[in-house]
Structure 1
Amino acid sequence: MTRTQWASVTAVVLALLFAGAATVASAGPEPGQVAPVADSADAGFARDMSVHHQQAVEMSFIVRDRTKDEEVRRLAYDIANTQANQRGMMLGWLDMWGLPKVAPGVEPMAWMGMPSHGAMPGMASPEDLDRLRAASGRQAEVLYLRLMTEHHKGGVHMAQGCVDRCRPGVERDLAQGMVDAQESEIRLMADLLKARGAKP
């Protein structure tokens, strides 16, 4: 098995392992522990990462239709499938905690104690998405890999924030799984870009 194939398998296995654990376990409060409040790290992470994941799913569906390359299409499918499942879990936790999925007046990333100025790290711009929709073949592959690399770097930053700030439990475990899986996928995408003669 090549390094690229191994990185891909590792990323998927890690993501599914933590997603499976989070599905089986309850993210409800431990006995004697109250549910997270709206401005907690737990709630902020669930809200912000759900939005972040949604864009990754969108970009992955776009590139799937813009290239016939099986390696990139397989990666896009894995990212879309994993992140859609994780997003569903996080939105489900917010429902279980009785908290809103959108917090009007609350800046993204406020739970990390950092100003976001309305934007989360790694998010592609509307112009970036338009360029991806207009591209095809190798051009679409390279643009997707570059955008998703930056997206994953932002996702790792956010997930590490939950690892450091969220209470112990399945949400923090899922965040650690995101860190591990997305760092592995970043290395895989660097290999895919190199194979296409492009820089990250």
Structure 2
Amino acid sequence: MHQRAGREVTRTYWAAGAAVVLAVLFAVGATVATANGPDGRGDRAALAAPALYSPDAGFARDMAVHHQQAVEMSFIVRDRTQDEPVRGLAYDIANTQANQRGMLLGWLDLWGLPKVVADEPPMSWMQAGEGHGGHAGHGAAKPGALMPGMATKEELERLGAANGRDAEVLYLQLMTDHHKGGVAMAEGCARQCATPAEKALAQGMVEAQQSELKLMEDMLRRRGAAPR
């Protein structure tokens, strides 16, 4: 029974990850095509870097931070349980989000923009593009968390101290919250970002993380628990 559940998790995660893989391939192709241009000389207008406070730049900065915490939580839980489905999911999330984070930071480098802007509040790019409270429907960041969906320092400490089923359930609950916040951010970029490659990557994130949310709900149910 356990092996069958593990195979089901792997198949489900593969389907979820396929959208991200396709988005990454599209993003790379679009970036190369834009850089080269139809005549090989490049299109200066298309290559114009996004503005410092644009949705394109703000999403890249915020999602890079958001992804970093997902990677951190995934490495924590791999040391706190021997459950192969959870460890496999954690590995795949860490690997996928680390790669996506690298792409986002790489774009900032290509655009000549900083990775951190001291006077830029988190999520301000969404508020600027959709009015104040543009992401309010997905909930504000809880006290002690930098952005919606992110875990607090205390929650990360609880995860690091848990073992076995307790660690599995807490990780799945924290990652469910994390994905909901991430989906809201990616939906915002899919609507507001102007860079085609980044919009494609954001839409791929939405589709993959929505699939992962269903997977994690099922994994929680198998453990007699539910999302918070």
For this structure pair, what is the TM-score category when the shorter chain's length is used for normalisation? over 0.9
Contact 2:30-2:196 within 8 A present in 1 as well:
no
Corresponding residue number in structure 2 for 1:17 = 22
1:158-193 Cα distance to aligned partner (Å, 9 max, x none): 000000100151100000000000000000000000
**After the TM superposition, which segments of 4 or more aligned residues of structure 1 sit over 3 Å from their partners?**
1-6, 27-30, 114-118
Corresponding residue number in structure 1 for 2:55 = 41
1:87-138 Cα distance to aligned partner (Å, 9 max, x none): 0000000000000000111101010014678831100000000000000100
**Count of residues paired in the alignment:** 200
1:7-47 Cα distance to aligned partner (Å, 9 max, x none): 21111212222123323442767822321011000000000
Give the SS at the match of 1:26: helix
CA distance in 2 between counterparts of 1:145 and 1:166 reads 30
CA distance in 2 between counterparts of 1:11 and 1:126 reads 29
Give the SS at the match of 2:57: helix
Give the SS at the match of 2:31: coil
Q: Which runs of 5+ in 1 are unaligned?
A: none
Larger radius of gyration: 2
Corresponding residue number in structure 2 for 1:62 = 76
Which of 9-18 and 112-121 deviates more?
Answer: 112-121
Structure 1 position 149 matched with structure 2 position 163:
no
Corresponding residue number in structure 1 for 2:40 = none
CA distance in 2 between counterparts of 1:184 and 1:94 reads 28
**With structure 1 as the length reference, what TM-score do the two structures score?**
0.93
Contact 1:4-1:191 within 8 A present in 2 as well:
no
Q: Which runs of 5+ in 2 are unaligned?
A: 38-42, 134-139
**With structure 2 as the length reference, what TM-score do the two structures score?**
0.82
Contact 1:163-1:176 within 8 A present in 2 as well:
yes
Corresponding residue number in structure 2 for 1:127 = 154
1:40 partner amino acid: S
1:100 partner amino acid: P
- Percent identity over the alignment is 59
Contact 2:49-2:111 within 8 A present in 1 as well:
yes
Aligned counterparts, 1:178-197, within 5 A: 178-197=205-224
Q: RMSD of the TM alignment (CA)?
A: 2.0
Give the SS at the match of 1:119: coil
1:195 partner amino acid: R
Contact 1:19-1:85 within 8 A present in 2 as well:
no
Which of 107-116 and 81-90 deviates more?
Answer: 107-116
1:90 equivalent among 97, 104, 123: 104
